[in-house]
Each structure stands twice: as structure tokens, then as C-alpha cells.
Amino acid sequence: MRQSLVVGNWKMNGTRASSILLSQGIVAGLGSNSAQIAVCVPYVFLASVGEIIKDSRLALGVQNVADKPAGAFTGEISATMLNEFGCKYALVGHSERRSYYGDTNESVAARFSQAQAENIVPILCIGETLEQREQNQTFDVVNEQIDAVINLTGIQAFNSAVIAYEPVWAIGTGKTASDEQAQEVHQHIRQYIAAKDQVIADKIQILYGGSAKPDNAKGLFAMPDIDGGLIGGASLDAESFLKIYHSI
């Protein structure tokens, strides 16, 4: 059986003080739920949040990682640096990075590879735009996004990776994919991986992201190929994030 995983993506929100309060609130409400849980925080809050959660089951993550190991790359943060802070997960290829900051399938693959080189689990974010969905290109788009990584790292790299399916049209819009719409793509992704390696396909966690909220999480998480969620807006409030976590 695959373990479930719920990840909060705080994006560019909060202050140091609010991040400390939020992480304290989450830790306090973890209860006996054995599902995995993590928060992807802004880099500058890694130390503060890391200190709060260090003895808890709440894992630390970030929202991006450099595509190079070190050197003259002003403004970038390397996987080695993140490792020093006990960072367990790094999102790579979030649609906001792809659409606003020029991330390409190739640079995302390099970020994925850099994270793994430092034992950070990459959470590869993939998904189609509304236009691509309307043109029936959803499967082609996610296939290409996955292939770009496999071409660089090989399929075995997915032994220690997570995939997050985030339809771009559902991110921050309040429009969630229906349980069936999400399941259809998750199943496709798992089958696509299975064609390359059945063992990896059976064990890889595939998360859903895009306007997941306390009131729709249960239905999504009940789908056979949805192993948890990548939560944006609703992860900024401890109570709503915990409600989502406990609906797994």
C-alpha cells in the first residue's frame, strides 16, 4: 500500500512570525494520523520553521531548487544549501514557476536531479492549462513533462520522487477538478509510469493540487490513484490544512 502524503505550499505568503505560528498550529494538530505531511515554506523561513517542527512528523520542504550545484548563479539556492536545513522535499516545476519565471521541461528536470543529488525528494509538478484540456492535450502534456525528467535521470530516479498533478486551470481559481476528472489523469500518469516500470508505478505517490479544500478533499483522496494533496491557499490556515490532512 502506498502511504498518503499531504503537502502545503505556502507560496510567497506570510511573515516569520506568522510562519512560526502556522507551523506550531499544524504540529499541535497532527494527532495520531499516520499519513505523511509536509510544508513547503519560503526559503527565508526554513530555519525558523525547521526549529519548530524538528521533533515532529511534519516534514520541511521548499518551493524550488537551483538547476545547478553551485557557482555564479546570483539569487539561486542550491540543493546543498537546502540539505543543511533538513529540507526533505522540494517542489520542482510548479506551474507558477513555469509560467512566470521561465522554467522549461528541461530546467525542471535539472532541478529534479539536483534535489535528488542531495537526498531531497523532488515533488514534480505537472498539469495542463485550460486551453490544452479543451484541445484534448492533457495526456500529451503530462507525458512530455514526465519524459523530460526521465530523459535526464532515467526512470529509476522516480523511486524517490513524488508527482503532483496540478491542472493549471484549478490553481487558485476555486475551480477544483472533479474527483473523476482528477482520477482519470492520475490513473493515466500511473499507467504511463507502469509502461516503463511497474514496481515504481505501484509505489509512487501522486498528489492532486488545485483548489483542494476541507470540503472537497475527502472525495478526491478516496480515488484509487490519488495519494494525497498539494495544497495552496488552504494550507495557510492551520485548521483548514489539518482538516484536509485528517480527511485522508
For residue 163, the cross-strand partners are: 124, 206
φ, ψ at 224 (rounded to 5°): -65, -30
Decide: is 211 part of the binding site for ligand 13P (CB under 6 A): yes
Catalytic residue among 96, 118, 134, 166: 166
Look-up: residue for cell 499531504?
6
User: 34 vs 99, which CB is nearer to ligand 13P?
Assistant: 99
Decide: is 127 part of the binding site for ligand 13P (CB under 6 A): no
Binding range to ligand 13P, per CB under 6 A, among 74-82, 97-105, 224-232, 239-247:
224-232
Q: Is 174 left (phi over 0), alpha (psi -120 to 50) or beta?
A: left
φ, ψ at 15 (rounded to 5°): -120, 175
Q: Which amino acid is at 100?
A: Y
Report DSSP state, residue 234. Answer: G
User: How long a stretch of residues is the chain?
Assistant: 248
* Near ligand 13P by CB under 6 A: residue from 93, 127, 210, 214: 210
Decide: is 168 part of the binding site for ligand 13P (CB under 6 A): no
* Sequence-ordered list of residues with C-beta below 8 angstroms from that of 131, at least 6 positions apart, any chain: none
* Sequence-ordered list of residues with C-beta below 8 angstroms from that of 70, at least 6 positions apart, any chain: 78, 80
Q: Which amino acid is at 180?
A: E
Q: Is there a contact between 19 and 45 (Cβ–Cβ < 8 Å)? A: yes
Catalytic residue among 94, 96, 128, 186: 94
Binding mask 33-62 for ligand 13P (x = CB under 6 A): ------------------------------
Look-up: residue for cell 490544452?
132
The half-sphere exposure of 117 on its side-chain side, counting CA atoms within 13 A, is: 17
Based on the residue annotation, tell me whether 51 is a catalytic residue of this protein.
no
CA pair distance 74, 97, nearest whole angstrom: 17
Cell of 170: 484549478
Whole-number minimum distance, CB 210 to ligand 13P, in Å?
Answer: 5
User: 201 vs 234, which CB is nearer to ligand 13P?
Assistant: 234
* Near ligand 13P by CB under 6 A: residue from 231, 242, 244, 248: 231
Binding range to ligand 13P, per CB under 6 A, among 97-105, 128-136, 166-174, 177-185:
166-174
Whole-number minimum distance, CB 70 to ligand 13P, in Å?
Answer: 27
* Near ligand 13P by CB under 6 A: residue from 232, 242, 244, 247: 232
Based on the residue annotation, tell me whether 246 is a catalytic residue of this protein.
no
* Near ligand 13P by CB under 6 A: residue from 128, 166, 225, 227: 166
Binding range to ligand 13P, per CB under 6 A, among 23-31, 77-85, 143-151, 205-213:
205-213
Binding site for ligand 13P (CB under 6 A): 9, 94, 166, 171-172, 209-212, 230-234
Catalytic residues: 94, 166
